[in-house]
Amino acid sequence: MSVSNHRQVSPYVTGLLGRCPRCGKGHLFHGFLKLSPACEVCGLDLAFADSGDGPAVFVMTIAGFIVVGAALWVEVAYQPPYWVHIAIFLPLTAIVCAGLLRPAKGLLIALQYFNKAEEGRRADEG
């Protein structure tokens, strides 16, 4: 893969679509959130990828704003009973979180690849 082709692949597009951060064509995921061992197109070893809990933190924050904002608006506008809030906003929370988690994980892994992020080392360890 040439260097010029490497720069044409956007980390944002490939990450959000769950594509290989190097070639932009292979699949990043094997299953819903499980990473593929390697890209089936360019052979990039995806063992470097470790997004940790980062995607979950971002997703919970975004979902919290969406769901709590909507719940407050519904409460002020309609004043429904609490069971209506539960019936509407519990499934909405699950849908928003599940819908955002995979793109967020793909984006963080793609940015990790493009920025050559790696585990930190202490200066005195040689």
Q: How confident is the model at residue 3 (pLDDT cuts 50, 70, 90)?
A: very low
Cβ atoms within 10 Å, residue 82: 8
* DSSP codes, 34-75: PBPSB-TTT--BGGG---TTHHHHHHHHHHHHHHHHHHHHHH
Q: Tens digits of per-residue pLDDT, 45-69?
A: 999 898 889 999 999 999 999 999 9
CA distance 33 to 29: 6
Q: Tens digits of per-residue pLDDT, 95-125?
A: 999 999 999 999 999 999 999 988 777 888 7
In sequence order, what are the beta bridge partners of 19?
27
pTM score of the predicted model: 0.85
Residue 70: is its pLDDT beyond 90?
Answer: yes
| Amino acid 4: pLDDT | 43
DSSP state of 33: S
> CB within 8 A of 48, min separation 6: which ones?
112, 113, 118
| Amino acid 7: pLDDT | 58
Q: Tens digits of per-residue pLDDT, 12-43?
A: 999 999 999 999 999 999 999 999 999 999 99
| Amino acid 126: pLDDT | 58
